[in-house]
Amino acid sequence: MNISRRALLTVPLAALLLASCSREKQDERIVLGFSQIGAESEWRTANTESIKTAAATMNIDLRFADAQQKQENQIKALRTFIAQKVDVIMFAPVVTRIVTYSLPVPRFAQSYMLAVLQHPFMQDWIAAAQEEDWVIEQFELPATT
C-alpha cells in the first residue's frame, strides 16, 4: 500500500465526532491535544495549519505542541495531554511515512504497523485521503511502473 502525502493532509476528525457524541453536555467544547513532530517542511507546516483551521472552524479547544523534531518531546506532549485530561489526542502516525517510503522495519514492528493501518479510523482516513483531489505536486512521489 502506498499512501501519498496528501493522505496525511486529510485531518482525521472521526475521533472528534465520536468524542463529541460522548460528551455529557453538548454545549461544552471538545479539547483536542495535537502533537506535531515539527515544522521542517512546507508540507508539515500546511498539515499543521489545516488542523488548526479545522479546529477553529469546529469550535474545538486546540492544545498544540511542536515537538521540534524530537520524539521525546512528542511523547512528553502526549503525556501532558493525558495529564490535562483532554478529550482527544491526535498525532500523525509514523507508520504512514514508513509505508510511503518503503522503509525497512524489524519484524516485531511489522505487526504493530499492520494493526495501526487496519484500524477502522485509519482505514477511513486513508480512504478519505485517496479521494482528496487537492495535491501539492512537489510532495508527491514519482509514479512507479
CA distance 140 to 74: 26
Return d(Cα 97, Cα 123) in angstroms, integer: 15
Give me the torsion for CA of 68, 72, 74, 76, rounded to 10°: -120
* Domains of the chain, first to last: 30-92 (3.40.50.2300), 94-132 (no CATH)
Cell representation of residue 101: 517510503
- Taking phi over 0 as left and psi of -120 to 50 as alpha, with beta for the rest, 135 belongs to beta
Give the pLDDT confidence of 68-102 residue by residue, as tens digits: 988 788 889 989 999 999 998 887 667 777 887 88
Bridge partner list, 91? 35
pTM score: 0.55
Summarised one tens digit per residue, pLDDT across range 99-109 is: 878 888 888 77
